[in-house]
């Protein structure tokens, strides 16, 4: 789901490149372990809360893997201040879905942080109010079996749709599920290109 920029040195949206950028440092801090429950407390295991239901999707957005990936890139892209259709965004994700950027924390080891779609929206929307953000797919490697599908989708991020060069590139790793009637996004897991990890030729657009 970043993207998008730049409290930590990585990017969205998504794409999702911008999401990593809006990860606040406290979210990356190691949490203290919870105290062990007493015997009386551990005798009853509370039920896990039900995952929120997704809004109804536009059938055209979820009819195929091509369609749902295109919808992701489209819904997060736009000029500064343009409201994104966040209900459309939420409709693409299966309940319990996660968006997971690889986060560069400068002098610390790389880390990941998992967002729900709602958490992604909460952090991304203020950025989009101030900054133009356009992300598109430049190349793709994919595999499918039965009701599951995965893709390495090479993304390019720009501040304006007509910018000649992207300010960021990377890989969005999509995992999808088909329930028999539509496609759902289960996970988007991504990492921005860096000098240490340039995109290899196999993940770049074919030469024309």
pLDDT tens digits for range 66-104: 999 999 999 999 999 999 999 999 999 999 999 999 998
Give the C-alpha separation, 169 to 157, whole Å: 6
Residue 41 belongs to some domain of the structure: no
Q: What is the pLDDT of residue 106?
A: 81
Give the chain's mean pLDDT. Answer: 83
Residue 28 belongs to some domain of the structure: no
What CATH number is associated with residue 174? 3.10.450.50
Residue 13 belongs to some domain of the structure: no
Residue 3 belongs to some domain of the structure: no
pTM of the model: 0.78
Q: CA-based Rg of the chain, rounded to a whole angstrom?
A: 18
pLDDT in tens, 117-138: 999 999 999 999 999 999 999 9
Q: What is the pLDDT of residue 21?
A: 43
Q: What is the pLDDT of residue 33?
A: 43
Residue 140 belongs to some domain of the structure: yes
Q: What is the pLDDT of residue 105?
A: 81
Instruction: Between 54 and 155, name the one with better pLDDT.
Output: 155
Q: Which residue range forms the structural domain that includes residue 84?
A: 18-23+53-203
What is the DSSP code (8-state) at residue 80?
A: T
Q: Are 99 and 114 in contact (CB under 8 A)?
A: yes
Per-residue pLDDT for 19 more than 70?
Answer: no
| Angle made by CA atoms 188, 189, 190, in degrees to the nearest 5 | 120
Residue 135 belongs to some domain of the structure: yes
Residue 37 belongs to some domain of the structure: no
Residue 89 belongs to some domain of the structure: yes
Which residues are CB-contacts of 52 (< 8 A; sequence separation ≥ 6)?
95, 118
- CA 60, distance to chain mean position in Å, is 20
Q: What is the pLDDT of residue 102?
A: 95
Instruction: Between 164 and 45, name the one with better pLDDT.
Output: 164
Query: Per-residue confidence at 18, pLDDT binned at 50, 70, 90?
Result: very low
Q: Are 21 and 8 in contact (CB under 8 A)?
A: yes
- CA 137, distance to chain mean position in Å, is 13
| Helix/strand/coil for 85 | coil
Domain count, the chain: 1
């Amino acid at each position: 789901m970043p993207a998008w920029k730049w409290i930590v040195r990585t990017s969205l949206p998504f794409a999702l490149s911008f999401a990593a950028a809006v990860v606040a440092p406290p979210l990356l801090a190691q949490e203290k372990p919870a105290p062990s429950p007493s015997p009386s407390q551990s005798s009853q295991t509370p039920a896990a809360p039900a995952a929120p239901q997704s809004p109804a999707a536009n059938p055209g957005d979820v009819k195929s893997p091509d369609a749902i990936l295109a919808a992701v890139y489209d819904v997060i892209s736009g000029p500064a201040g343009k409201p994104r259709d966040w209900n459309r965004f939420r409709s693409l994700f299966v309940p319990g879905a996660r968006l997971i950027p690889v986060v560069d924390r400068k002098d610390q080891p790389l880390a990941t942080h998992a967002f729900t779609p709602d958490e992604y929206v909460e952090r991304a929307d203020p950025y989009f109010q101030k900054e133009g953000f356009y992300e598109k797919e430049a190349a793709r490697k994919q595999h499918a079996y039965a009701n599951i599908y995965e893709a390495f989708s090479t993304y390019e991020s720009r501040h304006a749709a007509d910018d000649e060069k992207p300010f960021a590139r990377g890989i969005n790793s999509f995992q999808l599920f088909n329930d028999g009637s539509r496609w759902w996004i289960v996970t988007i897991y991504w990492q921005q290109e860096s000098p240490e990890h340039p995109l290899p030729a196999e993940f770049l657009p074919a030469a024309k």
